[in-house]
Structure 1
Amino acid sequence: MKKGLTQVYCGTGKGKTTAAIGQGVRATGHGLKVIMIQFLKGRPTGEVEALKNLEPEFKVFKFEKQKKFFFEMDEEQKADLKSDIKNALNFAKKVLDTKECDVLILDEILGVIENQLFTEDEIINLIENKSDEIELIITGRILPERIKSMADYISTIEETKHPFYKGVTARKGIEY
């Protein structure tokens, strides 16, 4: 890769992780190594199961033990989650320092900022210190202005209509 850039998939719509994974799959098709670190996603998903077929070129890491959504957690569980996320961020720094991959996906890292588990400055530090040889992809709902100004690509996925509002719960193989 000539120069690694920073990509962002953000917004309220469904498909941010799917888009990031698609970019990672494309990269593996050209012989690039991909690492995805998932944040705030403790539950198993179909896409992560499918990606096991692409190992070792596409590796997925989760550090969280919690299986609940953030809004369902008590303060002790949130403290444990913050510790898990700190381990994940340290791993991301290590991956960037050692250049273990060509593409690093930090899935739902913007949610870490949104839920005030870590500061925007800590995430900006990751972006600023990435090697020019690594493509960085970040996802999440809300994109802070300072990170927006640092990104090379921004794709916003907005919700126009969602079956959840008609009482349809998440479906295996479609939403997870």
Structure 2
Amino acid sequence: MKAGYLQVYTGTGKGKTTAAFGTAMRSVLHGGRVFFAQFIKMSETAELLVPDHFSNFTIMQFGEGFFLDREPTEDDRRLAEEGFSKCLAVMSSGEYDLVVMDEVNVAIHYGLLDPATVVAAIESRAPGTEVICTGRNAPPELIEAADLVTEMRKIKHYFDKGVRAREGIEY
């Protein structure tokens, strides 16, 4: 029963990447091939270690880091477009069972990618290819096209008390 649905994880709460990663690990452990693209991120996340243990998991990062204290640059735009181009090729190939575009919603929100182009690419994917898009501010076009949308809502977060991202928990 390989339908190839589109899932979107969005909202201000913690857990979007974690949910996508958990689904990716389930797929890998059942023998599925996973392509995990991280937009905007450029850091030593634990996800980067997975290919050392599972040959059916591929991960690539396309970014220079989050825009917490700066505006996106032309390099950010170029890297997002490069990442999207790679994801388009992967989704079209039929070689992967699951394609995760982590933080693609943020890339769209900041104008690095066009939402209509992203939706069209997802809709033209190979039959049976599941796609997960994560990040805050999912565009309405993506939400409309999705088969499943989950919004993570922040109620309380230790980051607000000054706790920074922790190895093994947030990265």
TM-score normalised according to structure 1 size:
0.89
Q: CA deviation at 1:71?
A: 3.7
> In the alignment, which residue of structure 2 is the partner of 1:48?
48
1:10 is matched with which residue? 10
Secondary structure in structure 2 of the residue aligned to 1:56: coil
1:28 aligns with 2:65: no
1:88 aligns with 2:83: yes
Question: Which has a greater percent of helix?
Answer: 1
What amino acid maps onto 1:23 in structure 2? T
Match of 2:98 among 93, 99, 103: 103
The 2-side partners of 1:48 and 1:13 are apart by: 23
CA apart distance, 1:52: 2.6
> Compared with structure 1, are the counterparts of its residues 144 and 74 closer, same or farther at alpha carbon in structure 2 (3 Å cutoff)?
closer
**Corresponding residue for residue 60 of structure 2:** 61
**Structure 2 contact 39–104 (Cα < 8 Å) conserved:** yes
Deviations 1:90-147 (A, max 9, x none): 1111112222201100101000111111121121122221122200111011122221
What is the SS of the residue equivalent to 1:105?
strand
Are residues 1:115 and 2:110 paired?
yes
2:145 paired with 1:146: no
- Alignment: residue pair count: 171
TM-score for both structures, normalised by structure 2? 0.92
CA distance in 1 between partners of 2:165 and 2:34 (Å): 28
CA deviation string 1:43-93 (max 9, x = no partner): 1112332x23443211111133x2x42243466xx1011111111111111
Structure 2, unaligned stretches of length 5 or more?
none
**Alignment partner of 1:135 is 2:130:** yes
Matched, 1:70 2:67: yes
Distance 2:105 2:132 in 1: 11
Q: How does 1:154-165 map to 2 (within 5 A)?
A: 154-165=149-160
Maintained 8 Å contact 1:5/1:132: no
Query: Structure 1, unaligned stretches of length 5 or more?
Result: none
In structure 2, distance between residues paired with 1:47 and 1:98:
23
